[in-house]
Structure 1
């Protein structure tokens, strides 16, 4: 696991907050949180995550923490985010359906992602 947060660093490099690997599976994870029922993310942030993942051979995820909810982190694949005028969004309800827990992702075999 490599943690390389870039929030606020004004970097132009495509890099996720966390890069993690296990038994041939590599995950690129952008970590975000919200206190609202709907989470919004800038288009460029999603694009950077996807570009990095394609170059590195990683599976991209956005880890969302809905604050004030008694829930663990929910990991959402970028293609499950809903496009808006300025970027992307996902509601808590949608994230519960389309997202996964970290444990669920790590216990899958590599073959299930290919």
Structure 2
């Protein structure tokens, strides 16, 4: 999201998360200011912490490279945050996905269609009530799916579930 619209959308996301009671920071190094791959936004409320890769589109599907998703999962695991892909389509709200729930293309990239976001994405309020640690829909199954799709190694999955 190196363009002006993307930057504006990231700032909008930061403001919305702040309004929801999260301590939030937009990573200044996102977009290539450093060699380290960092998520666009970090947010936490004392109970749950997220590393968010934010993408927006006027209506076309949103694509993320396999490297972006791998870097998000890697950072999240090491930081102790839950990885989320935040998507926003024009005239719609933000919707969030665990990386294991995003469609992986044959080429190893990831895609979120607008209709998928509206039907299956978690709205902002769901971030407050996230209970992945209690075995909800984004718990053990998501970790196992991430292993099956090659997003996580078995060792990484053991650490997350251990």
Shorter-chain TM-score tier = 0.7 to 0.9
Name which structure has the greater RCO, CA cutoff 8 Å, separation 6+. 1
Contact residue 19 and residue 28 of structure 1 kept, 8 A: yes
Please list, as runs of the form range in 1=range in 2, the aligned pairs for 1:1-114 lying within 5 A after superposition. Answer: 1-5=24-28, 6-9=30-33, 11-67=34-90, 70-84=91-105, 85-106=107-128, 108=129, 112-114=131-133
What is the Cα deviation at residue 8 of structure 1? 4.0
* Higher Cα radius of gyration: 2
- Structure 2 gaps of 5+ residues are 1-23, 134-162
For 1:60 and 1:86, the matched residues in 2 are separated by 18
Moved over 3 A (4+): none
Higher share in helix: 2
Q: What is the Cα-based RMSD across aligned positions, in Å? A: 1.6
Question: CA shift at 1:31, angstroms?
Answer: 1.1
Alignment TM-score, normalising by the size of structure 1: 0.85
Per-residue CA shift, 1:47-81, capped at 9, x if unaligned? 110100111111111111112xx211111211111
**Matched position secondary structure for 1:13:** coil
In the comparison of the two structures, how many residue pairs are matched? 108
Does structure 2 conserve the Cα–Cα contact (< 8 Å) formed by 1:14 and 1:51?
A: no
The TM-score with structure 2 as length reference comes to 0.61
For 1:3 and 1:37, the matched residues in 2 are separated by: 25
